[in-house]
Amino acid sequence: MRLFLLIAALVAAPLIAAPRPAHRPAPHHPVQRTSPAAPRGPVNWVRTFAATPEGGVRMGNPNAPVKLIEYGSRLCPYCARFHAESMATLRGTYVASGKVSYEFRDFPVHGALDLAPILIGHCVSTANYFPLLDQMMAAQPQILAHEEDVVHQVQALRPATPTLTAIAFAEKLDLIGFMAKRGMPAARTRACLSSRAGFNALAKRADDADRLYQVRGTPTFIVNGKVADGVGDWAALEPVLKAAGA
């Protein structure tokens, strides 16, 4: 019952518009539909993915001495800035070395506004999770181009059920079209947005984030099980990873 109450609270809560720091959009590329092959020689940790019991997806060595978790939102400009600034080094150097694993866990920091991108983001294979995450982060300026108008329109919906709210945001932010360009039929996207199991998983992740780490904003970073207090960008996070043994 607690899960459904949390979902209802997300829909009923005021819709928080995402703040907009300067951000340079990147070009769109189709999601690569590849399956990890059996490793030959050194393991390519950047291409090693696993869904975690906590509902995230991990990239890298599962036995890495430094385990990094990011609680983020696909519509959070600060998360997008972190991804733009950090991923070449974080993945290309630290994850590739086998010393750091990187897990992303979706967190609905904007309330109902985040429902659709989270549900869609978990509707692809584990191998396609990070490519789609990267593309959503890069496409934020386009996705949120008419955010204020969209929020007002969705707020006027009656009845405002979780499913109708998620579908309305997906339609008005053109996330259904966004996914169609990446090979997901509209019917499949709508099914993901209507999935009771998807809403249950989303609510449980949000509940666990609060219970385990008292997550209140994004990005929030967890390094070896501890919240990295006051860390919100790559310049502040990299020294924490080094101090932990990266």
- Token readout for 130 is 């990070």
- Token readout for 155 is 């707020």
Task: Provide the pLDDT for residue 12.
Answer: 52
Residue 245 CA to its chain's centroid (Å):
26
Condensed to tens digits (0 to 9), the pLDDT of residues 20-55 reads 554 444 444 445 444 444 456 789 999 999 999 999
Point out the least confidently predicted range of 115-129, 154-168, 217-231: 154-168
| Ordered domains of the chain (ranges, CATH) | 2-11+48-244 (3.40.30.10)
Contacts of 6 (CB under 8 A, 6+ apart): 203, 206, 207
**Average pLDDT, stretch 73-91?**
98
Longest dimension (CA), the chain: 57
Give the mean pLDDT of the chain: 89
Asked whether the predicted pLDDT for residue 238 surpasses 50, the reply is: yes
Q: What is the distance between the alpha carbons of residues 99 and 94, in angstroms, rounded to a whole number?
A: 6
Is 0.75 topped by the overall pTM?
Answer: yes
